[in-house]
Structure formats: structure tokens, C-alpha cells
């Protein structure tokens, strides 16, 4: 693994019914902040699910923190954080959530 690259995708292909996501190359260096921007249905969530090992790819290679999320999804998810908008961590209003997170970060 290139220790300076945390996410590597090459020739990634994911088929979902009539939709196909194709990512020729994606390299995310260690410490880099990346935003996924695109219209609904562009494949943003599909890509994140593949990176976390929650969805299988139909082609290509993927490495996240040096691991293949398709072969070691638990080990990948132990090293990264991913939360969907339809599966909230806590069912709290924003002010209460921030208060709880502040308490956790100060511990």
C-alpha cells in the first residue's frame, strides 16, 4: 500500500439494476478532504457504500486504508466513519446532538 494514499479506486464498476457507476481512477491522499458533488442518481452513495464494504463492486480494485473493503468490510469500517441520512446515530434535535458530541470529545 502507498502509505500516503488512503483511498484508491481503479477501474471501479458497480452495476445496480439499470444504473452503472464507473470510476476510472480515484486517489485520496492521507489528510485530504474530499467532497462528492453531483445530481441525484449520480452514484455518490453507491461509491461511499463500496468504500465502506456495504455494497459489492462488479469490477475494478478498491483499497481503503490499505484494505479491500469487499474482503475485509469490518476492518475497513473499524477505521472509517460513515453514517447515512436515513440511519441517524441518535434521534436528537441538533442542539442536543451537539451538546452530546461536545461531551464525548472532551472526555
According to the model, what pLDDT value does residue 86 have? 73
Query: What is the radius of gyration, based on Cα positions, of the chain?
Result: 16
The one-digit pLDDT tens for each residue of the chain (107 residues) are 556 899 999 999 999 889 999 999 999 999 898 999 999 999 999 999 999 999 999 999 999 999 999 999 999 988 887 777 776 666 778 888 788 777 766 75
Strand order in the sheet with 59-64: 19-29, 5-16, 59-64
Amino acid at each position: 500500500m502507498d502509505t500516503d494514499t488512503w483511498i484508491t479506486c481503479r477501474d471501479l464498476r458497480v452495476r445496480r439494476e439499470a444504473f452503472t457507476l464507473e470510476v476510472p481512477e480515484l486517489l485520496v491522499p492521507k489528510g485530504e478532504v474530499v467532497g462528492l458533488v453531483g445530481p441525484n442518481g449520480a452514484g455518490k452513495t453507491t461509491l461511499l457504500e463500496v468504500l465502506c464494504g456495504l455494497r459489492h463492486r462488479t469490477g475494478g480494485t478498491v483499497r481503503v486504508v490499505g484494505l479491500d473493503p469487499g474482503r475485509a468490510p469490518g476492518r475497513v469500517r473499524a477505521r472509517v466513519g460513515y453514517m447515512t441520512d436515513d440511519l441517524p446515530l441518535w434521534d436528537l434535535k441538533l442542539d442536543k446532538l451537539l451538546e452530546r458530541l461536545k461531551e464525548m470529545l472532551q472526555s
